């Protein structure tokens, strides 16, 4: 019963090595939808909130990340697997990591 709940929730351990079905079921699952919606909303808050004190590149990154995750949420609602958005999220996270690492090394 616990395994069935984890599969429904999107945290399946048994189906890890079957990418097509697992990837599609993750984006449709409550966990996948909650993650993409939360990422989109937190990125929007980081850009739009009046107390936000970030630079131009951080604002630009959060806008791109918010749009990408919002698109992932909407595609997940439609029931398909957004493979191109996964690649985009990974590229954005890589750019962010490089930018932050350079900032750390400079300080």
CB 36 within 8 A of CB 70: yes
Domain around 43: 26-106
DSSP 12: -
Residue 86 lies in a domain: yes
pLDDT tens-digit profile, the chain (107 residues): 777 777 777 666 454 555 555 566 777 888 888 888 998 998 888 888 877 677 888 888 888 888 988 988 888 888 777 677 777 887 888 888 888 888 888 87
How far is it, in rounded angstroms, from Cα 36 to Cα 76?
9
Global confidence as pTM: 0.69
| C-alpha Rg value of the chain to the nearest Å | 16
Residue 69 lies in a domain: yes
Residue 62 lies in a domain: yes
Residue 18 lies in a domain: no
Domain count, the chain: 1
Q: Which residues of 51-77 are buried (b: 16+ CB within 10 A; e: fewer)?
A: eeeeeeebeebbebbbebbbbbbebbe
């Amino acid at each position: 019963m616990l395994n069935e709940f984890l599969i429904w929730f999107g945290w399946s351990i048994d189906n890890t090595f079957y990418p097509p079905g697992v990837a599609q079921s993750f984006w449709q699952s409550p966990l996948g939808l909650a993650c993409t919606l939360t990422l989109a909303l937190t990125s929007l808050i980081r850009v739009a909130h009046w107390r936000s004190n970030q630079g131009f590149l951080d604002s630009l990154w959060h806008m791109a990340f918010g749009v990408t995750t919002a698109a992932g949420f909407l595609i997940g609602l439609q029931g398909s697997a957004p493979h191109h958005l996964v690649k985009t999220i990974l590229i954005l996270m890589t750019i962010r990591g490089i930018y932050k690492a350079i900032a750390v090394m400079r300080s």
